[in-house]
């Protein structure tokens, strides 16, 4: 794994995407031993305050000449298959935020194979979730069931297939409009249920993890509840996320988890 121990030279970091999550993460990393050496996006004309230290790139092949130690993705599902292989092949660890991309078994298999061959790691950061580290630890013994319930205000489900499954404007109580395994859910709702694959990969896998999607007219935050049972005992974790001020459609914790994933590459103590 690429890392820079505390007290040594700065970690060479590249961001894929420069939306609200990446910008907030970069701001919170100010003062950390991290140098943002590149920002990758589809186009450069509309970038908001890119780091002065960063080279702006649009082609994955450009990563090789920049030699980052870590590439942090925060650009959406399609960017994982596009930038992940290039990041891993240039010897960088790859932090994934858009985990719904890994619902495509071919993408997951390909990235795992490249990472293994290059001796680097794919880090799935927990995003808006809590308890993922406990679920992953529990997997060392037999896990029987894992369920993940995602509850959001009706407006959060606009412009998704939820609009064809219920009348979001007329709900007067919480309504479960979709229930399927993690792979099906992340594919159908790649932005709103992105973290379904995080739970799945931490636990019993995409086909065995049950995901429920709920539109709740009484809710003011996005809520995730993960429950699991196995040889370790029982797990029941709930987190209610405030929105990221720079992008209300994104949970603040998504940016905070990315910051922590990067900090763990430089800190003397890792939690």
Q: Exposure string (b/e) for 80-113, b if CB count within 10 Å is 16 or more?
A: bbbbbbbbbbbebbbbbbbbbbbbbeebbeebee
Contact 77, 100 (CB under 8 A): yes
Strands annotated E in 121-195: 122-124, 143-152, 175-181
Q: How far apart are CA 115 and CA 184, in angstroms?
A: 25
> In a 3-state reduction of DSSP, which class is residue 13?
strand
> In a 3-state reduction of DSSP, which class is residue 100?
helix
Q: Which residue among 3, 123, 148, 224 is the active-site one?
A: 224
To the query of whether residue 224 is one of the catalytic residues in this protein, the response is yes
**Closest residue by Cα to residue 14 from 47, 44, 53, 48:** 53
Which contacts of 241-245 are long-range, i.e. CB under 8 A and separated by 24 or more positions? 241/128, 244/20, 244/21, 244/24
Contact 196, 124 (CB under 8 A): no
How many other CB atoms sit within 10 Å of the CB of residue 23? 23
- Residues labelled catalytic: 224
């Amino acid at each position: 794994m690429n890392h820079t121990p505390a007290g040594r030279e700065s970690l060479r970091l590249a961001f894929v995407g420069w939306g609200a999550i990446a910008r907030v993460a970069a701001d919170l990393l100010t003062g950390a031993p991290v140098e943002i050496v590149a920002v990758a996006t589809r186009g450069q004309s509309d970038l908001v305050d890119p780091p002065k230290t960063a080279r702006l790139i649009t082609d994955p092949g450009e990563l090789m000449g920049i030699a980052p130690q870590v590439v942090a993705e925060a650009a959406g599902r399609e960017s994982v298959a596009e930038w992940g292989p290039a990041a891993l092949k240039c010897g960088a660890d790859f932090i994934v935020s858009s985990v719904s991309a890994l619902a495509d078994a071919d993408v997951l298999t390909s990235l795992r194979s490249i990472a293994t061959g290059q001796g680097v790691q794919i880090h799935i950061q927990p995003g808006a979730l809590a308890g993922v580290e406990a679920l992953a630890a529990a997997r060392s013994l037999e896990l029987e069931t894992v369920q993940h319930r995602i509850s959001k205000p009706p407006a959060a489900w606009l412009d998704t297939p939820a609009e064809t499954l219920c009348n979001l404007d007329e709900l007067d109580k919480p309504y479960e409009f979709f229930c399927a395994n993690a792979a099906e859910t992340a594919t159908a709702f790649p932005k709103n249920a992105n973290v379904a694959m995080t739970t799945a990969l931490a636990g019993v896998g995409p086909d065995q993890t049950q995901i429920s999607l709920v539109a709740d007219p009484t809710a003011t935050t996005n809520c995730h509840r993960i429950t699991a049972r196995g040889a370790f005992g029982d797990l029941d974790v709930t987190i209610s996320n405030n929105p990221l001020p720079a992008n209300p459609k994104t949970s603040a914790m998504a940016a905070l988890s990315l910051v922590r994933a990067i900090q763990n590459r430089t800190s003397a103590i890792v939690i």
